[in-house]
Chain A
Amino acid sequence: MACNSATCNSSGCYKEYEVEEEQRQPTTRGGINGSATTHQNLCVKCKSNEPVCCGIGGDDARFCKDCFKTNLYGKFKQAVSYNAMITPSDKVLVAFSGGPSSRVVLQFVHEIQCRAQTNFDASKDRSLPVFGVGVAFIDESSIHSFASQDAEKAIEDIRSIVSNLAPPEKELYVVPIENIFSSDNIDGKERMKKLLDAVSDVTGKEDLLIHLRMLSLQRVASQNRYTRVVLGSCTSRIACHVISATVKGQGYSLSADIQYVDSRWQVPVVLPLRDCPAQELNTLCSLDGLKIVELLNGPCSSINGLVSSFVKVLQEENPSRECTIVRTAGKLTPFHFNRIPDIHDSSVPLATRRRQKRHSIKPNGSLSSESFCPICNSPLNKSNFSSSLRSLQSNENSDIFAAAACSSCQFQIIPKEPSLMEQFVSLLPQPLITRAKHGDRGDFSLLREQIQEFLLSDGEDEI
Chain B
Amino acid sequence: MEADAMPKKSGPRLCCICNQRRAVLKRPKTLEQICRECFYEVFEEEIHQVIVENQLFKPGERIAIGASGGKDSTVLAYVLSELNRRHNYGLDLFLLSVDEGITGYRDDSLETVKRNELQYGLPLKIVSYKDLYGWTMDEIVKMIGLKNNCTFCGVFRRQALDRGAALLKVDKVATGHNADDIAETVLLNILRGDIARLSRCTSITTGEDGPIPRCKPFKYTYEKEIFLISLSCQNLNKISTYAYFKKLDYFSTECIYSPNAYRGFAREFIKDLERIRPRAILDIITSGENFRISTSTKMPEQGTCERCGYISSQKWCKACVLLEGLNRGLPKLGIGRSRGLNNDIKKDTKQGGGTKSIESKQCGSLDF
- Which positions in A face B, CB cutoff 8 Å? 1-5, 8, 10, 12-13, 15, 81-82, 86, 88, 112, 115-116, 119, 128, 131, 200-203, 242-243, 245-252, 254-255, 301-303, 306, 310, 313-314, 317, 321, 324-325, 327-329, 331-333, 349, 351-352, 355, 381, 407-408, 411, 416
Contacts and interface: CB of A to CB of B under 8 A. Distances in A.
Interface stretch (B118-126, B221-229, B279-287): B279-287
B14 to A, nearest CB: 22
Interface stretch (B130-138, B185-193, B319-327): B185-193
B365 A352 contact: yes
9 contacts: A243-B187, A245-B287, A251-B286, A255-B291, A303-B273, A306-B276, A328-B192, A329-B190, A351-B365
Contact of A202 (B2, B279, B360): B2
A328 B11 CA distance: 52
Interface string B261-279: 0000100010011001101
Contacts of B360: 4
Contacts of A3: 361-363
Contacts of A332: 195, 291-293
B362 A201 contact: no
Contacts of A331: 195, 293, 297
B16 to A, nearest CB: 16
Nearest to B275: A306
B367 interface: yes
A249 B287 contact: yes
A116 B363 contact: no
Contacts of A352: 365, 367
B358 interface: yes
B301 interface: no
A250 B290 CA distance: 8
B1 interface: yes
A333 B292 contact: yes
B262 to A, nearest CB: 9
B351 interface: no
Given A8-B364, A246-B284, A310 B269 contact: yes
B272 to A, nearest CB: 6
B359 interface: yes
Given A251-B288, A324-B193, A88 B283 contact: no
A4 B283 contact: no
Interface in B186-207: 186-187, 189-195, 198
A255 B363 contact: no
A243 B191 CA distance: 9
Interface string B283-311: 11011111111100100000000000000
Given A246-B287, A314-B265, A333-B294, A306 B273 contact: yes
A255 B291 CA distance: 8
Contact of B190 (A131, A243, A303, A333): A243
A247 B289 CA distance: 12
B368 interface: yes
A8 B366 CA distance: 11
B192 A251 contact: no
A358 B2 CA distance: 47
B2 A201 contact: yes
Contacts of A251: 286-291
Contacts of B192: 324, 328
Closest 7 interchain pairs by CB? A251-B287, A249-B283, A3-B363, A252-B290, A333-B292, A116-B368, A12-B366
Give the interface centre of A86, A203, A333 by most chain B CB atoms within 10 Å. Answer: A333
Contacts of B286: 249, 251, 407
A247 B283 contact: yes
B363 A246 contact: no
B195 A8 contact: no
A339 to B, nearest CB: 15
B148 to A, nearest CB: 15
A86 B368 CA distance: 8
Interface string B164-195: 00000000000000000000001101111111
Nearest to A255: B292
Nearest to A379: B292
Contact of A10 (B287, B358, B366): B366
B280 A2 contact: no
B363 A5 contact: yes
Contacts of A81: 363, 366
A88 B367 CA distance: 8
Interface in B74-95: none
Given A243-B190, A252-B291, 15 more contacts: A12-B367, A15-B363, A128-B368, A200-B2, A202-B2, A246-B187, A247-B273, A248-B283, A248-B287, A249-B283, A249-B286, A310-B269, A317-B265, A328-B189, A328-B194
A126 B190 CA distance: 49
B144 to A, nearest CB: 20
B68 to A, nearest CB: 28
A8 B364 CA distance: 7
A12 to B, nearest CB: 4
Contacts of A202: 2
Contacts of B194: 328
B367 A333 contact: no
B354 to A, nearest CB: 14
A352 B198 CA distance: 37
Nearest to B189: A328
Nearest to B202: A251
Nearest to B366: A12
A94 to B, nearest CB: 16
A449 to B, nearest CB: 24
Contact of A349 (B2, B359, B362, B367): B367
A317 to B, nearest CB: 7
Contacts of A116: 368
A5 B362 contact: yes
Contacts of B272: 306, 310
Given A324-B193, A381-B290, A10 B276 contact: no
A115 B364 contact: no
Interface string B327-368: 000000000000000000000000000000011111111111
A349 B57 CA distance: 63
Given A248-B280, A303-B273, A333-B292, A2 B193 contact: no
